[in-house]
Amino acid sequence: MIIYGTTAKALTTEQVVDACPNCNSRNTVHISVLQQWAHIFWIPLFPIGKTGVSQCTHCKQVLKLKEMPAGLRLSYDNIKAQTKTPVWTFAGLLLIAVVAVAITVNQQQKSQKVTQMIPSLKKGDIIHIRLSDTAFTVAKVNRVKGDSVFLLDSKYQINHGYMDISDLESKEFETQEEAVSVADLKAMDKKEEIIDIKRE
């Protein structure tokens, strides 16, 4: 279950000279500027604006921003203009960016590894193959002779999201070999049909 929503925290509170609209007392009204942000699992994702409240220390009246009279609203705007949005309210976006970069780097490293391994495949290597955007399978190298690689195809395939492709490595393979050339495998790699090669 994903817990998400919005929350707010007071960034600053200042006393203003405006008279309280309820009891007319002066120098008793405090205005707070609150930063609002969206969160997932209570981790700030991004800021969604500021709001404010006022409170009179004499009569205890609390007004939300939309309830403030024009004078208090002007004082709020002045305080808000001097209140910066905290950097930590962008923590979630920063975390997402770091994860995205890490995934990209990992995929690039995996792609380079596959490209380097294709010309030197060995018996027992497992090739992870993309059949379509949602279907995947594996093939095991049974033997290599010259420029030909003899593969045993898995008897199974998976749909993305329902199973880990690595689970197919321990399942049954066909007994009939399929011969492919190193050039064919390189072409598959170029089309991103080979997504990984595992070697024990």
Q: Domains in the chain, please, with CATH?
A: 4-93 (no CATH), 114-198 (2.30.30)
What is the DSSP-derived secondary structure letter of residue 191? T
Token pair for residue 162? 């329902």
How sure is the predictor about 111, in pLDDT bands with cuts at 50, 70 and 90? confident
How many Cβ atoms are within 10 Å of 2's Cβ, its own excluded? 5
Give the strand pairing for 126-130 and 29-40.
unpaired
Entry pTM: 0.56
Give the strand pairing for 194-198 and 158-159.
unpaired
Q: Is 53:66 a contact under the CB 8 Å cutoff?
A: no
**Percentage above 70 pLDDT, the chain:** 98
Q: What is the pLDDT of residue 161?
A: 59
Q: What is the pLDDT of residue 162?
A: 58
Region for 59 from its dihedrals, namely left if φ exceeds 0, alpha if ψ lies in -120 to 50, beta otherwise: alpha
> Could you report the per-residue pLDDT of 159-177, keeping only the tens digit for each?
875 568 888 998 999 999 9
How sure is the predictor about 110, in pLDDT bands with cuts at 50, 70 and 90? confident
How sure is the predictor about 56, in pLDDT bands with cuts at 50, 70 and 90? very high
In DSSP notation, 11-49 reads EEEEEE-SPPTTT--SS-EEEEEEEEEEEETTEEEEEEE
How sure is the predictor about 194, in pLDDT bands with cuts at 50, 70 and 90? very high
Token pair for residue 7? 């929350």
Burial class, 183, CB count within 10 angstroms (exposed 0-12 / middle 13-18 / buried 19+): exposed
Q: What is the pLDDT of residue 2?
A: 62
